[in-house]
A and B are shown apart, each in its own frame.
Chain A
Amino acid sequence: MNRFFLSLIIIIFALCRVNAQMDQVIVGQNFNLRSLGELIKYIESGYDLRFFYLNKWTDSVIVVQNSVPSSLEKMLDESLSGTDLTYFTDKKNIIITLRYKIKSSIPESLLNPGLPDENVSHITEENPFLQRELTESVSESKVIESAVLIIGTPGKTGPYNNATISGVVTEKESGQPITGAIVFISDLNLGTVTDQYGYYVMTIPPGMHELNLRYMGRKDQSFKINLTGNGTLNISMEERLLELRGVVIKADKDFNVRNLQPGLEKMDIQTIRQVSSTMGEGDLMKTALLLPGVKTVGEGASGFNVRGGGTDQNLILMDGAPVFNPSHIFGFFSIFNPDVVKEFKLYKSGIPAQYGGRLSSVLDVSIRNGNLKRTSVNGGISPVAARLSIDGPLIKDKASFLVSSRSSYSDWILRRTKIPSLINSSASFMDLNGKADFSINEKNQLTAAAYYSTDHFRLNSDTLYSFRNLNAVIDLKHTFSKKLYGIASGIYSNYAYSLSSTVRPFYAFDLSYVISYLEGRTDFTWFLNSKHKLNFGADIIKYRINPGSLDPVGQTSLILPKNLSDEMALETGIYLNDEFEITDALSVNYGLRYSGLFSLGPSEVYKYLPDAPRSLQTRIDSVYYPANKMTGYQGGPEFRLTARYSLGPARSVKFGFTNMNQYLYMISNTTAISPTDFWKIAGPNLPAQKSHQVSAGFYEYLMSGKVLSSIEVYYKSTRNLPEYRGGTSLLMNPDLEVDMLSGRGKAYGMELMLRKEYGAFNGWISYTYSRSLINVDSKFLADRINNGNWYPSNYDKPHDFTLVSNYRFSRLHSISTTITYSTGRPITYPVARYRFRNLELLHYSYRNEYRIPDYFRWDISLNFEGKLNTKKLMKNALSISVYNVTGRDNAYSVYFVSDEIKKVKGYKLSVFSQPVVTVTYDFGF
């Protein structure tokens, strides 16, 4: 185990020693061929230099001294060359390390040259290393500066004699902002978290304070500041190259508990890669599925279910642009290329008011910005796909770009599944990400991002399916003052699919579907004072859906061209959110969103007999509305509330209430999302879906702050869930509203989790008990499902257990393992057989009354990173992963087939019934 710094022998001789710097020392005595330990003892006894090392390393090292006298520097260089040891020195301390070098760049890290500010106080040019107080308990990762930073223009203070300190926290290597870094004033027990721009602001009394900065995977920093007035402190954080056992600053721990939002999960790309390198790709959605409350109907199924909600109830955002189909190859991969993902946030409850439009969750994925300092290239090869990305500065420290692409090159995955219907199939995908950001000046920052992907597959038939995702976002951030900034965004998203078949020339056709989404929005953040932080804004979305157009292909085709008329609507929203810290212990975040949907023509709006089930026969009237004429309006308020009460430094309780409206329906009558499922907009005869959720949680740090334990409970009810009458063709159906039924849903559950975020050994263990039920009842027999009784939803999996653990046994090697167990999903089994014509058929009755066998999977991945060569900066990584180590044939579904001898037989379908081994190679320079 190379956690050597903790067991490092720190030898301090309190002898009278010569004050000298390391490079000034000349050794007059002959140490040639003697042990390094002897030399060190000699030097330490004679000079006030300190060596840090492990005895067992140096015992076997022989000193090389070509001449007497010789400089210490030269002796060390020559003695250590050819060994795995290197040393680092700040002229006073010599740190010997095994196998890697320590980089010295501390002074720069305190300043961000990209954003100069007259109020930034420059730290003393002296190396802070020198001023460090070396005691046995201080480890390398916690660098406490003794230098005092004087911040602010004296006299420029805010109300109540408070001063505002703000700034931007960035990554040292790339200059990119860090979201979610904790800025904490330990003496005041006050803290904040940087937003998506890396920005933080705090209003605190002037005077001497200790400011701590912490972010996972980066070195902790601590500054003594003397705040004399409103001022700026921009900080760049260095990557924690030395993976040491995380040292938790006591104050942070307390802060974490105070800041946790109920039902919010956040994860950065390092964690995603570590946790799930399933099939060789660090997959964001696969990682999300390991979190409590997030489920799927089966492996290989597209989408996910959050707290008993449908796959269509998740707002999936890529840099703010909605994604209508988040999967490649049905559901084996997500569309998020791991090379460009920075992090994701998943809101399961307590969804802030700026988000709206989906009932269950918000998955907010951020794409990283290009490196502002230097150009870098990253890529990787796995059995499925190859990736390559390039990013770098356009104007150093001002503007950057990022271009990344991923393309599949084999049907490897389909052949692994061994499903007969997939073996004769083919699938391919590609995606392209681009992003540019430009700091126009201190006040204005412009970001543009775009995404494009295509998928093609053929499912054991002659029908070729294709789909395409396209989205683009442009953001302008303007800082009005230190306390107020705003962002104006233009967002475009477009999802289209087509299926075509040309094998039978007389019936060759092409069917396509398109949804396009255009949004304009503004969001403001106002740090009103130390008690209030306001978010407010407005958005307007224009939807245009072409629900289907069928065209003949070729001259001989008999297919009649058919084009369903477009659906158009405007969705609007305004919101206000206030984070209000009422007392030290109690704070609330309350918000209101008012959303509405204006349905627009051209369309025909039908009226139906009120006392009969809807059908073409019960249509009594129709009104035609021309283009852009409003055909209907619906809308209403959505209330959001989260409250947190601290029960002490390491304990807190939370409460949340979320009320959401969803104006988009996903039309699907299959268990898993199928390639032909599509989105339809609510309208005069199709009211918006609505949900209410209450949730509560209790959080506590255990084991002196190393492990966070949490328990969350929730209850959610939904209305207007889409269901369908039996015998309905959904595709190309101009009268779909006639065949749709409306259901109610309820979901409740309890999520328990123990999580250790830091350290060489980290991960989490979670258990969830949850239910998700649906009821479709009506006074009309034809409008009922399951006789109007409640039945479990397709994703109702009551018990769910997940263990995720990562162990980094050296800086370059780590092993991750995940174990998941869950109850099998519900399934409808037949209640009887019967004969009809020459066929034996099955009679299905009660929906989802049975369950497929329970699901269990164990994955292991081993990650090896290549030796870091500081000169070439080339990074290599090799990852070997085994998916489904035990080869358990988890059921995806159970189905029945009537064979040739009139007999129905049951079969079990499993997607991966054997271990799948993948090797992935990643590089970067």
Chain B
Amino acid sequence: MNSNIPDIKIIKQHFPGPLTFFPVLVVLGMLIMYGCTYPYEPKIRKYENVLVVDGLLTNIQGNCYVTLSRTYPYNGKPSVPEEGAVVKIIDDLDNETLLSRNEKGIYLPKDTSYSGDVGRKYKLMIRTSQGETIESGFEELKEPVDIDNIYFEFMERKNGTPGLQIYLNTHDPAKKSFYYSWDFDETWEFWVPYNSQSVYLPEMKICYKNVSSRKVLIESTKDYIDDKVIGFPLYFIDNSTNRLYEKYSVLVRQYVLTEGTYQFYKDLKDINEHTGTLFDRTPVILTGNMINTLNPEQPVLGNFQVSGASERRLFIYRDQIRDLMTVPSEFEYCEVDLLSKINGRPKIDSLLREGWAIMDTIYDTEYQDTLFGLAIRRACFDCTLNGDITKPDFWDEK
């Protein structure tokens, strides 16, 4: 090793200083001048404090929760979940189930195996610490419908991005479900390219990442000949993520909705997703099935969803897609830099603040001194930064 390395080799792309920012700004400016949609944050003075209820009850054990929160100002920070409320679910046979708040602010039934029964009707009742009483109507838990199939197809998006489109098929032989919604949890295994030998534990190489869906996925078969959903496009995995790099899995949950809940989601999509067109819909107050019984003029946002639910898991292995597309590694940016003592403490500290870490050190045995540090972005050797090191129990199912 050469002992007189003069300075830290800094890769410019990773450290945009004021100077390197400049051309970026110019390019951005040009985009703004010629582009037609660009960020614009209007000054919003008003704020309305409204209670938000998010409740779910299905026939699946453990799939029941209620969250209570308040709206927060447009320019403000998210509010903390509502405390001190009495939350209970009542069925049409007058059975009461009390929900209590856990440390994350979510109200859960005491009996973790609690689930709803198909055909029963359920009502959510809430008394907040401020004395408001919020109730839903009785919502029927519809019979769940199995997911027939989840599959993928390789395709290119209109903008040319290649990826996998995930589809779903389902049908109700009894032809009485009509309204469906889906959500899903993605899990994938990823490997970081570097290993720390001396500073950190070497086991931080393989992790699993979990992501829950963030889109409202609904479909109504009311206008179809059959109560059948074929080829419903759930989502698209483009090749800019490393989801498909090693092994990938998704758990899709299918809910059979009441008509009211379906309509609630449809409006939610219209108002929050279908925007930026020439024909935007006039926004309206979006309320679901929750009503403030003492003061009905006070809106309550959110919805209590009672559904028959079913689940299905899909695995995608690297081998299955290798011929279809190339998945770039997420870690191509990883480069190791050599830090020497000459760089001094402040410089090293600032690097560390930027998300770098000393992965390993080089110790000069002759002088008994640590001469160099091998610095790298921490995510390049520590998978726990972006994932969970414990292997999910379903991981080896298939």
> What residues on A are CB-neighbors of B225 within 8 Å?
552, 558-560
Contact for A838 among B49, B212, B224, B286, CB less than 8 A = B212
Q: Is B228 in contact with A829, judged by CB distance below 8 angstroms?
A: no
A330 and B277 alpha carbons, distance in the complex (Å) = 12
- Mask, B53-93, CB within 8 Å of A = 1, is 01000000000000101111110101000000000000000
Q: Which residues on the B side are within 8 Å of A727 (C-beta)?
A: 263-264, 266-267, 284, 286
Residues 197-227 of chain B: 1 if any A CB is under 8 Å from the residue's CB, otherwise 0? 0000000000000001110100001011110
Interchain CA distance A898-B37 in the complex, whole Å: 15
A834 and B38: CB pair below 8 A? no
Interface residues of B in 1-27 (CB under 8 A from A): none
Which residues in chain A, 781-795, are within 8 Å of chain B measured between CB atoms? 781, 785, 787, 794
| Residue interface mask A390-412, B partner, CB < 8 A = 1 | 00000000000000000000000
The CA of A418 and the CA of B31, in the complex, are separated in Å by: 11
State whether B275 touches A895 (Cβ < 8 A): yes
A835 contacts B44, C-beta separation under 8 Å: no
Interface-located stretch among A527-535, A620-628, A885-893: A885-893
Contact A838 B33, beta carbon cutoff 8 Å: no
The stretch that binds A, out of B129-137, B188-196, B294-302, B371-379, is B294-302
Is B34 located at the chain interface by the 8 A CB criterion? Answer: yes
Q: Tell whether A377 is near chain B: CB-to-CB under 8 Å.
A: no
A311 to B49: give the CA distance in the assembly, Å: 36
Does A55 sit at the interface, judged by CB under 8 A? Answer: no
**What B residues does A830 contact at CB under 8 A?**
44, 74, 283
Interface flag for A420 (CB, 8 Å): yes
Contact assessment for A832 and B214 in the assembled complex, using a CB-CB cutoff below 8 Å? no
From A459, A844, A898, B283 is in contact (CB under 8 Å) with: A844
Q: Decide yes or no whether B268 CB sits under 8 A from chain A.
A: yes
- A497, chain B: closest CB distance, angstroms: 14
Interface of B, helix, strand, loop or mixed by DSSP: loop
Q: Which of B42, B49, B267, B271 is within 8 Å of A832, CB to CB? A: B49
Interface residues of B in 248-267 (CB under 8 A from A): 263-264, 266-267
Question: Which residues from chain B contact A124 at a C-beta distance below 8 Å?
Answer: none
Q: B54's closest neighbor in chain A, by CB? A: A836
Smallest CB–CB gap between A738 and chain B, Å? 13
| Closest residue of B by beta carbon distance from A899 | B214
Q: How far is the CB of A666 from chain B (nearest CB, A)?
A: 14
Q: Does A550 contact B (CB under 8 A)?
A: yes
Q: How many residues of B contact A (CB 8 A)?
A: 67
Say which one of A6-14, A91-99, A515-523, A909-917 lies at the interface with B.
Answer: A909-917
Contact A889 B74 (CB under 8 A): no
- Pick from A420, A560, A914: contact of B37, CB under 8 Å: A420
A898 touches B264 (CB 8 A): no
User: Which residue of A330, A844, A909 contacts B284 across the interface (Cβ within 8 Å)?
Assistant: A844
User: Shortest beta-carbon distance, B66 to chain A, in Å?
Assistant: 12
Query: With A829-B44, A831-B74 in contact, do A726 and B284 touch (Cβ < 8 Å)?
Result: yes
Instruction: For the complex formed, measure the closest distance between the CB of B290 and the CB atoms of chain A, giving whole angstroms.
Output: 12
Enumerate chain A residues within 8 angstroms of B264, measured Cβ to Cβ: 727
Q: What is the bound-complex CA distance between A504 and B282, given in angstroms?
A: 29
Q: Which residues of A contact B367 (CB under 8 A)?
A: none
In contact, B213 and A909 (Cβ under 8 angstroms): no
Taken together as a complex, chains A and B put the C-alpha atoms of A18 and B285 apart, in Å, by 94
Q: Nearest Cβ in chain B — how far from A52, in angstroms? A: 55
Q: Please state if B74 and A301 are interface contacts (CB–CB under 8 Å).
A: no
In whole angstroms, how far apart are the Cα atoms of A911 and B48 in the complex?
32
Question: Once the chains bind, are A672 and B278 in contact (CB under 8 Å)?
Answer: yes
Chain B residues positioned under 8 Å from A552 (CB to CB):
225
Give the chain A neighbours of B48 by CB distance below 8 A: 831-832, 843, 845
CB distance from A269 to the nearest CB of B (A): 29
The answer to whether A913 touches B34, judged by C-beta atoms less than 8 angstroms apart, is yes
* Contact, CB under 8 Å: A837 / B54: yes
Q: Determine the residue in chain A with the shortest Cβ distance to B48.
A: A831
Residues of A within 8 A of B277 (CB): 421, 459
Q: Which residues of A contact B37 (CB under 8 A)?
A: 419-420, 907-910
Contact B278 A847 (CB under 8 A): no
| Binary contact readout B27-51 vs A (1 if CB under 8 angstroms, 0 otherwise) | 0000001111111111010111110
Q: Is B40 a contact partner of A907 (Cβ separation < 8 A)? A: yes
**Contacting pair A836 B214 (CB below 8 A):** no
Give Cα A785 to B49, complex, Å: 19
Given A506-B230, A560-B223, A841-B268, also A833-B71 (CB < 8 A) = yes
Q: Given that A832-B72, A895-B275 are known contacts, is A559 also in contact with B223, CB under 8 Å in the complex?
A: yes
Q: Report the Cα distance A837→B183, complex, angstroms.
A: 10
Instruction: Check: A871 CB closer than 8 A to any chain B CB.
Output: no
A915 shortest CB reach to chain B, Å: 11
* Contact call B226/A907, Cβ cutoff below 8 A: no
Instruction: Say if the beta carbon of B272 comes within 8 Å of chain A.
Output: yes
B36 touches A418 (CB 8 A): yes
Q: Report, as a range, how many residues of chain A touch the other chain.
A: 35 or more
A23 on interface, CB distance cutoff 8 Å: no
Partner of B272, one of A418, A419, A506, A841: A841
Contact status A832-B50, CB under 8 Å: yes
User: Quick check: B40 and A832 within 8 Å, CB to CB?
Assistant: no
CA distance A467 to B34 in the complex (A): 31
Within 8 Å of chain A (Cβ to Cβ): is B280?
yes
Q: B282: which A residues are within 8 A, CB to CB?
A: 669-671, 794, 828, 847
- Chain A hits for B268, CB < 8 A: 836, 841
A562 to B225, CA, bound (A): 10
Is A842's beta carbon under 8 Å from chain B?
yes
Q: Is B71 in contact with A550, judged by CB distance below 8 angstroms?
A: no
A832 touches B74 (CB 8 A): yes
Decide: A835 and B52 in contact? CB cutoff 8 A: yes
Does A675 have its Cβ within 8 Å of any Cβ on chain B? yes
Question: Does A839 sit within 8 A of B, measured CB to CB?
Answer: yes
Known: A907-B38, A908-B40. A843 touches B276 (CB 8 A): no
- A880-908 vs B, Cβ < 8 Å mask (1 yes, 0 no): 00000001010111111110101001111
Q: Does A300 contact B (CB under 8 A)?
A: yes
Question: Does A735 make an interface contact (CB < 8 A)?
Answer: no
* B214 cross-chain contacts in A, Cβ below 8 A: 837-839, 898, 900, 902
A163 to B62, CA, bound (A): 99
With contact pairs A906-B39, A914-B34 given, residues A834 and B52 touching in the complex (Cβ less than 8 Å): yes
Indicate whether A83 reaches chain B with its CB closer than 8 angstroms: no
A831 to B275, CA, bound (A): 17
Contact B40 A846 (CB under 8 A): no
Kindly list chain B residues whose C-beta atoms are within 8 Å of the C-beta of A831. Answer: 44, 46-48, 71, 74
Residues of B within 8 A of A911 (CB): 36, 278
Report yes or no: A559 in contact with B71, Cβ–Cβ below 8 A: no
Complex CA distance for A832 and B70, rounded to whole angstroms? 9
B119 CB–A CB distance under 8 Å: no
Q: Which residues of B contact A844 (CB under 8 A)?
A: 271, 283-286
A506 to B266, CA, bound (A): 21
Query: In this assembly, does A850 line the interface, its C-beta being within 8 Å of a C-beta of chain B?
Result: yes
Query: Would A421 and B276 count as touching, CB distance under 8 A?
Result: yes
Q: Quote the shortest CB–CB distance from A164 to chain B (angstroms).
A: 55
A849 interface residue (CB < 8 Å to B): yes
Cα-based distance from A887 to B32 in the complex (angstroms): 12
B279 contacts the other chain (Cβ, under 8 Å)?
yes
Task: Return chain A residues, CB-CB under 8 Å to B398.
Answer: none
Considering the complex, give the chain A residue whose CB is closest to the CB of B230. A506
Q: Are A558 and B228 in contact (CB under 8 A)?
A: yes
A846 touches B283 (CB 8 A): no
Closest to B56 in A: A837
In the assembled complex, 28 residue pairs joining A and B whose CB atoms fall closer than 8 Å, in A order, are A419-B278, A421-B278, A459-B277, A558-B226, A558-B228, A726-B286, A727-B266, A785-B284, A828-B282, A829-B44, A831-B46, A832-B47, A832-B48, A833-B74, A835-B52, A835-B78, A842-B74, A842-B272, A844-B284, A893-B280, A895-B275, A895-B276, A897-B275, A897-B276, A905-B39, A906-B39, A906-B41, A907-B40
Given A420-B37, A833-B78, output 12 extra A-B contacts at Cβ < 8 Å.
A417-B36, A560-B225, A562-B223, A671-B280, A671-B282, A836-B301, A843-B286, A847-B282, A896-B272, A907-B38, A909-B36, A910-B36
What are the 6 tightest A-B residue pairs by CB atom distance, in nearest-first order?
A832-B71, A726-B284, A908-B40, A674-B279, A844-B283, A895-B275
